[in-house]
């Protein structure tokens, strides 16, 4: 089961969020500020232009109006200009008559304006006739700016969301998810579970890395299985070694103890094998051991099993077999062994100590008992089977 | 559109040249009635003349005639015969048979204030008192709690009715249901200085429920403001700023800058500009206004002030058309 994408402070996902913020938000914010600045400047310019044009309109041909004092001459133009919300106040003043031809303001004590004033002095033949003044509302651009601001916010938010909608799934599917899978895979491997396969499709770097990791797992598993087998097998005879024997027998013993079944355990030791080794060399000795194990294996039942636990020491385990039956079987085996020739061209005998469990002994107790029986067999002249049960021992 | 206007302009300019050619040298004369200092109207005119003298360095003859109309006429005649031109007819609306008089001196230019007559040698300077009175009426209606306001004047002439008519239009503009009391004391010798008569008239109106009274009573006017202040009601001054006479009791004053009109008339005459024989000065020229200062600050709230400023703007731009009583001797 894949874990959730981690959002811890050192995680890549968290880092990506930072990068996205920095990489998308910062340029966009900068872009927006610049755009707003330009729009404000444009509106300001527009207002200034309007201001100048209005003043020019009102000032056009005004000399005669000022000289002859004709208020009606400016009233109509001013009235039209004042209909524009940008114009706050207009005054036309005659210096000659010391009198306004026209003066009006939209400004009141309740509603003061933030005013930009532009005054044009009208003169003719070096005589100042008067002046024309137009005030415009500096704050006129404010609601326009606000409107533009909202438009920009929407635009940039859409761009940001669009960018995220494109980038986030890409990052998630192409980086975070494969990375997470790799983490899981590596974690499983580190726990030693080499059997959990993980298949990767695709040809990107993560897929290739994942594939390589899985390859590694497979090879490790092969090696491990080989090593495991080697650890429990005797190289020479192919029989389980002491470790393999212990593992196998403990399981069997547990089962027998649980269900109260018989199990017999015999220790077999070739008589005078040391002489064979000394006389004919280790090569021949090994061959003898192989032949011996072959002889035994040929004759035991499928449910029994043989293990080599020492140089010339073998153990035969016979489940579901009582001591008497085991003794019989072993005597038959002992005779078979002594009847054939071995690679060094002579016969050999074997001494056997056997014991049985009645559902309560530990393996080491059984082994000790079998060993004791074997010792007795050796002492009593070899080539014989000595059976010892727990009861007898006591 | 352009051509007829051009044609008229050319015609007028030619006409001007013709008149200028036959007119005499610039030698203005102003003849006052009574005396200068005791009449606020005369003071205002004198101020205009003084400013003209100071600014141009030219002289303007000032003569003071007696209150008697015959005395005044003989002064006018002597000025015209001495070769003065233009001669100011300051009390145009009080002078009987003005047209006949003017026609006797075709070579002399007359400048008349407050009256408009279509004579070739007469130049009218009219103050739009009705516009200022409209604002006074609107403010009165805004300030009145009883919804009854009054108007007090002396002689019932079309000129005085112009104040009343503007005042009434303004009050009705704010409140169509407002009640307006009007009263004239009548024409008798010294009527313009009979404070007792106008004060009695104002008291009568206050008895009936009026709580704002506008006086257009010349020299008798301050008596009205006094009577109103004594009863805790509001008065409205006229001609000059009278807000400070009874601070807190004068709602506002409808001022006429006659000095500005006289100065402009003298300048026009000096430059020989007689293109059209009629000039009108009103709110747009700042020649007429109602006054807001520290004396009436407590009486006018910002909201009222704001409303008045809006009305003023609308009048200047022609959105509100204030009817001039003198046009058809009728008030809507």
Same domain, B144 and B233: yes
CATH number of A26's domain: 3.30.450
User: Could you tell me the CA-to-CA distances from B191 to A225, A333, B45, B64 in Å, in that order?
Assistant: 137, 168, 22, 20
Shortest Cα–Cα distance, B320 to chain A (Å)? 13
User: Could you tell me the CA-to-CA distances from B288 to A305, A386, B127, B255, B257 in Å, in that order?
Assistant: 134, 149, 7, 6, 6
Same domain, B32 and B87: yes
CA A349 to chain centre: 64
Residues of chain B contacting A80 with CB distance shorter than 8 Å: none
User: Could you tell me the CA-to-CA distances from B321 to A71, A106, B173, B324 in Å, in that order?
Assistant: 16, 18, 11, 9
In a domain, residue B289? The reply is no
In a domain, residue B200? The reply is yes
| Full pLDDT tens readout for chain A, 394 residues | 455 666 677 788 888 888 888 888 888 889 888 988 998 999 999 999 999 999 998 888 888 888 888 888 888 888 888 888 899 999 999 998 888 999 988 887 777 888 899 999 998 888 899 999 999 998 888 888 888 889 888 988 898 888 889 988 888 888 888 888 888 888 888 888 888 888 888 888 888 888 888 888 899 889 988 888 888 888 888 889 888 888 888 888 888 888 888 889 999 998 888 888 888 888 888 999 999 999 999 889 888 989 998 888 899 999 888 889 999 999 999 998 888 888 888 888 999 999 988 656 688 888 888 999 999 999 998 889 998 887 554 4
Same domain, B84 and B48: yes
Same domain, A267 and A211: no
Within 13 A of A15's CA, how many CA atoms are on the CB side?
Answer: 6
Residue contact A97–B310, C-beta within 8 A: no
Rounded Cα gap, residues B83 and B24, in angstroms: 8
The boundaries of the domain holding residue A218 are: 192-230
In a domain, residue A236? The reply is no
Shortest Cα–Cα distance, A127 to chain B (Å)? 13
Rounded Cα gap, residues A192 and A176, in angstroms: 24
Which of A100, A126, A142 is a domain's end point? Answer: A142
The boundaries of the domain holding residue B101 are: 2-127+259-276
Same domain, B43 and B158: no
In a domain, residue B292? The reply is no
The pLDDT assigned to B95 comes to: 72
Q: Phi-psi category of A33—alpha, beta or left, where left has phi over 0 and alpha has psi -120 to 50?
A: alpha
List of residues 6+ apart from B61 with CB closer than 8 A: B27, B28, B29, B30, B79, B84
Residue contact A67–B313, C-beta within 8 A: no
Which of A79, A109, A142 is a domain's end point? Answer: A142
Residues of chain A that touch chain B, judged by Cβ-Cβ distance less than 8 Å? 67-71, 75, 78-79, 82, 96-111
Rounded Cα gap, residues A322 and A328, in angstroms: 10
Same domain, A223 and A273: no
What backbone phi and psi angles, to 5 degrees, belong to A132?
Answer: -120, 135
Shortest Cα–Cα distance, A110 to chain B (Å)? 6
In a domain, residue B208? The reply is yes
The tally of domains found in chain A comes to 3
The pLDDT assigned to B331 comes to: 87
Q: What is the number of CB-based contacts under 8 A between chain A and chain B?
A: 72
Residues of chain B contacting A70 with CB distance shorter than 8 Å: 276
Same domain, B142 and B6: no
Could you say which of B267, B279, B310 has the minimum Cβ distance to residue A108?
A: B310
Could you say which of B285, B286, B302 has the minimum Cβ distance to residue A110?
A: B302
Rounded Cα gap, residues A293 and A291, in angstroms: 6
The pLDDT assigned to B246 comes to: 93
In a domain, residue B286? The reply is no
User: Could you tell me the CA-to-CA distances from B16 to A126, B9, B109, B120, B278 in Å, in that order?
Assistant: 24, 10, 13, 11, 14
Same domain, B87 and B139: no
What backbone phi and psi angles, to 5 degrees, belong to A174?
Answer: -95, -20
**Which residues of chain B have a pLDDT value below 70?**
1-24, 93
The pLDDT assigned to A230 comes to: 85
Same domain, B159 and B245: yes
Which of A107, A142, A177 is a domain's end point? Answer: A142
Residues of chain A contacting B280 with CB distance shorter than 8 Å: 71
Residue contact B286–A67, C-beta within 8 A: no
Rounded Cα gap, residues B267 and B270, in angstroms: 5
B110-113 β-sheet, strand order: B61-65, B29-33, B87-89, B110-113, B122-127, B278-281
Same domain, A205 and A266: no
Rounded Cα gap, residues B85 and B29, in angstroms: 7
Same domain, B174 and B305: yes
Same domain, B35 and B140: no
Contact between A123 and A161 under an 8 Å Cβ cutoff? The reply is no
The pLDDT assigned to B132 comes to: 95
CA terminus-to-terminus distance, chain B: 33
Beta strands A87-94 and A99-105, pairing class: antiparallel
Same domain, B91 and B180: no
CATH number of A361's domain: 3.30.70.270
List of residues 6+ apart from B109 with CB closer than 8 A: B23, B85, B86, B87, B121, B122, B123, B269, B274
Could you say which of B263, B285, B317 has the minimum Cβ distance to residue A79?
A: B317
Same domain, A388 and A352: yes
Nearest to residue A230, comparing CAs of A339, B165, A222? A222
Nearest to residue A60, comparing CAs of A122, A103, A105? A122
Contact between A377 and A387 under an 8 Å Cβ cutoff? The reply is no
Shortest Cα–Cα distance, B304 to chain A (Å)? 10
Residue contact B309–A108, C-beta within 8 A: yes
Peptide bond into B86 cis (omega under 30): yes
Same domain, A99 and A28: yes
Rounded Cα gap, residues A244 and B128, in angstroms: 129
Contact between B66 and B35 under an 8 Å Cβ cutoff? The reply is no
What DSSP state is assigned to residue A133? Answer: E
CATH number of B102's domain: 3.40.50.2300
The tally of domains found in chain B comes to 2
Rounded Cα gap, residues B224 and B228, in angstroms: 6
Residue contact A68–B281, C-beta within 8 A: no
Could you say which of A68, A82, A111 has the minimum Cβ distance to residue B273?
A: A68
| ipTM (interface predicted TM) | 0.81
Nearest to residue A2, comparing CAs of A217, A173, A195? A173
User: Could you tell me the CA-to-CA distances from B40 to A12, A62, B223, B264 in Å, in that order?
Assistant: 91, 35, 15, 19
Residues of chain A contacting B276 with CB distance shorter than 8 Å: 70
Same domain, A131 and A269: no
**Nearest residue of A to residue B16, measured between CA atoms:** A68
The pLDDT assigned to B17 comes to: 47
User: In chain A, helix, strand, coil percent, each to 5?
Assistant: 60, 15, 25
Residues of chain B that touch chain A, judged by Cβ-Cβ distance less than 8 Å? 51, 55, 260, 263-264, 267-268, 271, 273, 275-276, 279-281, 284-287, 302-303, 305-306, 309-310, 312-313, 316-318
Shortest Cα–Cα distance, B38 to chain A (Å)? 26
Same domain, B26 and B114: yes
Contact between B215 and B224 under an 8 Å Cβ cutoff? The reply is yes
**Nearest residue of A to residue B51, measured between CA atoms:** A98
Could you say which of A97, A104, A107 has the minimum Cβ distance to residue B284?
A: A104
Rounded Cα gap, residues A218 and A200, in angstroms: 14
Same domain, B57 and B193: no
In a domain, residue B282? The reply is no
User: Could you tell me the CA-to-CA distances from A134 to A119, A292, B287 in Å, in that order?
Assistant: 7, 127, 20
Rounded Cα gap, residues B70 and B76, in angstroms: 10
What DSSP state is assigned to residue A240? Answer: B
């Amino acid at each position: 089961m894949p874990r959730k994408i981690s959002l811890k402070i050192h995680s890549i996902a968290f880092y990506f969020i930072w990068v996205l913020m920095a990489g998308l938000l910062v340029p966009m914010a900068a872009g927006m500020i610049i755009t707003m600045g330009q729009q404000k400047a444009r509106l300001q310019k527009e207002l200034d232009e309007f201001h100048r044009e209005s003043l020019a309109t009102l000032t056009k041909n005004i000399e005669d109006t000022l000289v002859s004092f004709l208020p009606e001459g400016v009233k109509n133009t001013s009235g039209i200009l004042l209909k524009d919300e940008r114009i706050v106040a207009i005054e036309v003043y005659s210096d000659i008559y010391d009198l306004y031809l026209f003066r009006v303001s939209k400004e009141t004590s309740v509603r003061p304006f933030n005013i930009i004033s532009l005054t044009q002095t009208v003169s003719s033949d070096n005589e100042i006739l008067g002046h024309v003044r137009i005030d415009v509302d500096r704050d006129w651009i404010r609601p326009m700016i606000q409107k533009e601001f909202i438009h920009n916010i929407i635009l940039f938010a859409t761009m940001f969301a669009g960018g995220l909608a494109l980038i986030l799934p890409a990052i998630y599917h192409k980086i975070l998810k494969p990375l997470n899978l790799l983490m899981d895979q590596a974690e499983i491997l580190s726990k030693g579970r080499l059997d959990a396969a993980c298949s990767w499709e695709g040809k990107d770097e993560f897929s290739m890395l994942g594939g390589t990791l899985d390859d590694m797992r497979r090879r490790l598993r092969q090696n491990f299985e080989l090593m495991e087998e080697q650890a429990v097998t005797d190289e020479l005879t192919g029989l389980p070694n002491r470790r393999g024997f212990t593992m196998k027998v403990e399981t069997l013993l547990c089962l027998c103890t649980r269900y109260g079944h018989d199990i017999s355990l015999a220790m077999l030791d070739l008589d005078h094998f040391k002489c064979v080794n000394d006389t004919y060399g280790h090569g021949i000795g090994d061959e003898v051991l192989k032949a011996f194990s072959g002889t035994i294996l040929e004759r035991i039942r499928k449910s029994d099993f043989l293990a080599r636990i020492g140089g010339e020491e073998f153990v035969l385990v016979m489940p579901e077999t009582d001591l008497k039956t085991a003794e019989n079987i072993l005597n038959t085996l002992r005779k078979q062994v002594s009847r054939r020739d071995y690679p060094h061209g002579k016969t050999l005998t074997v001494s056997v100590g056997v014991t049985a469990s009645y559902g309560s002994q530990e393996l080491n107790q059984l082994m000790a008992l079998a060993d004791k029986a074997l010792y007795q067999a050796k002492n009593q002249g070899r080539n014989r089977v000595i059976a010892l049960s727990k009861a007898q021992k006591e | 559109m352009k051509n007829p206007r051009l044609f008229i302009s050319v015609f007028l300019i030619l006409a001007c040249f013709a008149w200028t050619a036959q007119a005499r040298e610039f030698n203005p004369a102003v003849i006052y009635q009574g005396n200068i200092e005791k009449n606020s109207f005369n003071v205002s005119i004198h101020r205009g003349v003084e400013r003209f003298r100071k600014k141009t360095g030219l002289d303007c003859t000032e003569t003071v005639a007696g209150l008697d109309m015959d005395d005044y006429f003989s002064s006018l005649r002597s000025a015209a015969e001495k070769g003065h031109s233009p001669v100011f007819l300051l009390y145009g609306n009080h002078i009987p048979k003005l047209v006949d008089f003017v026609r006797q001196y075709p070579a002399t230019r007359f400048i008349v204030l407050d009256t408009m007559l279509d004579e070739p040698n007469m130049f009218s300077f009219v103050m739009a008192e009705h516009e200022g009175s409209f604002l006074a009426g609107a403010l009165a209606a805004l300030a009145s709690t009883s919804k009854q306001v009054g108007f007090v004047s002396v002689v019932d002439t079309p000129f005085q009715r112009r104040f009343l008519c503007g005042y009434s239009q303004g009050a009705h503009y704010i409140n169509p249901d407002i009640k307006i009391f009007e009263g004239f004391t009548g024409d008798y010798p010294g009527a313009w200085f009979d404070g007792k008569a106008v004060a009695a008239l104002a008291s009568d109106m206050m008895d009936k429920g009026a709580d704002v009274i506008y006086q257009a009573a010349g020299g008798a006017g301050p008596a009205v403001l006094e009577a109103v202040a004594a009863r805790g009601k509001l008065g409205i001054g006229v001609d000059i700023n009278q807000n400070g006479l009874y601070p807190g009791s004068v709602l506002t004053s409808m001022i006429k800058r006659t000095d500005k009109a006289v100065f402009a008339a003298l300048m026009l005459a000096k430059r020989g500009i007689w293109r059209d024989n009629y000039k009108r000065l009103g709110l747009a020229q700042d020649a007429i206004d109602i006054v807001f200062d520290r004396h009436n600050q407590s009486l006018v709230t910002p909201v009222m002030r704001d409303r008045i400023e809006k009305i003023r703007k609308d009048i200047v731009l022609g959105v509100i058309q204030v009817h001039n009583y003198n046009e058809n001797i009728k008030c809507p």
